[in-house]
């Protein structure tokens, strides 16, 4: 696998061969002799390419046409199976997302940073910082980002920040996670708890709740007491039906305490007609109700679970998160390359534009970018090749439950070919060939550019 993945070393090796050729000594004995010398010089490079590139590629292609055991020729069967496998389809889809989003984003950011850092003082220091992530191994970077995006706000930096900001604007609920003791008497709907029975003046509504530790009650919470009915109002009590050694479920007494500060609504025909709040012992009353029947509702705001941030590493967000990690790592690389291209731009072109009255934006848009476009293209294409091979980040950042959703071809290849218990190297080879074919156009493009530039 790795030989195929690194086969974009090709141009470099080819260039080495070129050097050998141009190093031909002058005036040796005739053409045949010089051919022999040329062959001698070429031999090491050719041998290395043959051993480390050509042979593995040919072997992988051959292997992909046989079955798992390598004994039976199956033609293109592995490829047919590969493209009907939903996991490969997801991997392909993700690779497409990566190629569409990541290289363009990084090239754009690299351009912006390169242009900006050219204009500021301490530019080198700034560039150094931006380039730093390139010095960290992909594996370690993956671990960093896995920690940053942990779901638990006490572990993950991203969610810790999200929760802090969220709670600064929206106060968390008083009794997160509390629920009805009897889910049939007090029905939960979108987090609201509503009584199934109807009540009117002179009734007492008893609402036992559970799912909360008694230690989480506010200090002023007083023991809840049963109320006497009063014909003038509709009253009730909300209490935490949990106590150490407390009486049977659903009953008052035994040290069970009321839940202060719970919002209680009286509903008639689905409309809120009155709202009140429980006292320290959990009691509440609606004194001014007009006669009729009401249902009692404890709105969801009392019990909403605390905001815990986003599930960054869940199926929906995991790919964007991993792309963000990759962007963090590679932007420095793009910036350095583009920065080098930038310093090669003739200054007088920029100056001329400025003298002609162009704004900085116009200079950037009409002069800098067009002059830089060859560099930008090379950077972009190199990143595309890089992105197609992305493996470590997905492997490290995606938790097991989301790995299928974050899957990319290189990871799928590794899992299929070398996963636990041996693996299927025929299918793995087929995947390697597909990945290779996807990289080839970008590679050819780069090679052709190199050639044109040399001319």
Partner 1 sequence: MSRKFGAVAVAGAVTLGLSVFGLTGCGGASGSGGNGELAGQTIEVTGPWSGDEQKAFQKVLAVFEKQTGAKVNYTAAGDEEPTVLQSKVQGGAPPNIAILAQPGAIAQFAREGVLKPVTADVEQQVDAHMAKAWKNFGTVDGKLYGVYFKAANKSIVWYNDRLLTQAGYQPPATWDDFVKTVNSLSDTGVAPLAVAGADGWTLTDWFENVYLQTAGGEAYDKLAKHQIPWTDPSVKHALQVLQQVFQPKLVADGNAGALQTDFSSSVTKVFSDAPKAAMVFEADFVGQVIASNTKAKVGDDARFFPFPAIGKPAGKPSGSVVTGGDAAVAFKDDKATMALMKFLASPEAGVEWARSGGFLSPNKDMPLDSYTDDLTRAIAKQMLGADDIRFDMSDQAPAEFGATKGAGEWKDLQDFLGNPADVDGTAQRLEADAAKAYHT
Where on the chain is the footprint of partner 1 (CB under 8 A)? 87, 137, 139-140, 143, 147, 150-152, 177, 179, 181, 210-214, 216, 241-242, 244-245, 249, 308, 311, 313-314, 396, 398-405, 407, 415-416, 418-424
Q: Cα separations (Å) of 143 from 111, 140, 279, 396?
A: 28, 5, 49, 6
Q: Which is nearer to partner 1, 120 or 244 (CB)?
A: 244
d(CA 275, CA 264): 6
CB of 278 to partner 1, least distance (A): 18
Q: Alpha helix (H) ranges present in 170-207?
A: none
CB of 308 to partner 1, least distance (A): 8
Q: Which is nearer to partner 1, 233 or 392 (CB)?
A: 392
Q: Alpha helix (H) ranges present in 6-51?
A: 10-22, 30-49
CA angle 193, 195, 198 (to 5 degrees): 155
CB of 294 to partner 1, least distance (A): 28
Neighbour tally for 119: CB within 10 Å: 8
CB of 135 to partner 1, least distance (A): 15
Q: Which is nearer to partner 1, 46 or 185 (CB)?
A: 185
CB of 353 to partner 1, least distance (A): 49
* 403 phi, psi to nearest 5 deg: -65, -35
Please give, one letter per residue, the 3-state secondary structure of 95-112: HHHHHHHHHHHHHHHHHH
CB of 403 to partner 1, least distance (A): 4
Q: Which is nearer to partner 1, 355 or 420 (CB)?
A: 420
d(CA 52, CA 43): 14
Contact 439, 447 (CB under 8 A): no
Q: Is 281 helix (H, G, I), strand (E, B) or coil?
A: coil
First to last CA, the chain: 34
d(CA 134, CA 444): 26
Q: Which is nearer to partner 1, 302 or 368 (CB)?
A: 302
CB of 181 to partner 1, least distance (A): 8
Q: Which is nearer to partner 1, 17 or 423 (CB)?
A: 423
Angle between helices 86-119 and 123-135 (to 10 degrees): 160
Q: Is 445 helix (H, G, I), strand (E, B) or coil?
A: helix
Q: Which is nearer to partner 1, 116 or 140 (CB)?
A: 140
Neighbour tally for 32: CB within 10 Å: 9
Q: Which is nearer to partner 1, 309 or 339 (CB)?
A: 309
d(CA 343, CA 432): 39
Contact 130, 113 (CB under 8 A): yes
CB of 420 to partner 1, least distance (A): 4
Q: Which is nearer to partner 1, 245 or 270 (CB)?
A: 245
Q: Which is nearer to partner 1, 425 or 446 (CB)?
A: 425
CB of 307 to partner 1, least distance (A): 13
d(CA 36, CA 310): 67
Residue 61 tokens, joined: 């292609």
Q: Which is nearer to partner 1, 231 or 245 (CB)?
A: 245
Contact 276, 286 (CB under 8 A): yes
β-pair type (234-240, 204-210)? parallel
d(CA 175, CA 217): 8
Q: Which is nearer to partner 1, 44 or 249 (CB)?
A: 249
d(CA 187, CA 193): 5
């Amino acid at each position: 696998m790795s030989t195929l993945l690194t086969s974009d070393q090709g141009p470099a090796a080819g260039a080495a061969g070129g050097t050998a050729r141009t190093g031909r000594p002058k005036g040796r004995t005739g053409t045949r002799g010089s051919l022999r010398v040329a062959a001698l010089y070429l031999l090491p490079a050719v041998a290395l390419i043959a051993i480390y590139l050509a042979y593995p590629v040919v072997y992988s292609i051959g292997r992909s046409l046989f079955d798992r055991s390598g004994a039976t020729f199956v033609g293109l069967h592995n490829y047919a199976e590969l493209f009907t496998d939903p996991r490969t389809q997801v991997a392909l889809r993700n690779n497409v997302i990566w190629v569409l989003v990541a290289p363009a984003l990084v090239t754009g950011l690299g351009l912006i940073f390169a242009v900006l850092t050219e204009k500021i003082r301490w530019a080198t220091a700034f560039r150094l910082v931006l380039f730093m992530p390139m010095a960290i191994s992909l594996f370690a970077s993956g671990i960093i980002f896995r920690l940053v995006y942990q779901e638990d706000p006490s572990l993950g930096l991203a969610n810790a920040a999200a929760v802090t900001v969220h709670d600064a604007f929206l106060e968390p609920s008083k009794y997160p996670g509390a629920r009805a003791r009897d889910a049939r008497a007090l029905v939960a709907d979108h987090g609201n708890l509503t009584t199934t029975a109807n009540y009117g003046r002179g009734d007492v509504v008893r609402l036992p709740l559970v799912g909360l530790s008694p230690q989480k009650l506010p200090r002023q919470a007083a023991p809840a007491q049963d109320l006497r009915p009063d014909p003038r109002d509709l009253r009730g009590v909300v209490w935490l039906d949990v106590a150490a050694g407390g009486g049977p479920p659903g009953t008052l007494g035994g040290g069970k305490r009321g839940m202060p500060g719970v919002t209680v609504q009286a509903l008639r025909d689905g409309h809120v007609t009155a709202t009140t709040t429980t006292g320290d012992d959990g009691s509440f009353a609606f004194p001014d109700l007009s006669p009729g029947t009401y249902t009692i509702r404890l709105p969801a705001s009392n019990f909403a679970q605390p905001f815990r941030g986003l599930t960054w590493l869940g199926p929906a967000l995991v790919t964007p998160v991993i792309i963000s990690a990759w962007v963090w790592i590679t932007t420095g690389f793009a910036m350095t390359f583009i920065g080098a291209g930038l310093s090669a731009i003739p200054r007088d072109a920029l100056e001329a534009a400025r003298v002609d009255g162009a704004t900085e934006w116009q200079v950037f848009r009409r002069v800098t970018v067009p002059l830089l476009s060859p560099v930008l293209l090379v950077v972009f294409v190199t990143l595309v090749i890089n992105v197609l091979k992305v493996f470590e980040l997905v492997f490290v950042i995606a938790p097991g439950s989301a790995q299928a959703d974050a899957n990319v071809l290189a990871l799928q290849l590794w899992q299929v070919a070398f996963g636990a218990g041996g693996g299927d190297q025929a299918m793995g080879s087929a995947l390697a060939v597909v990945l290779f074919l996807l990289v080839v156009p970008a590679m050819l493009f780069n090679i052709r550019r190199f050639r044109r530039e040399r001319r």
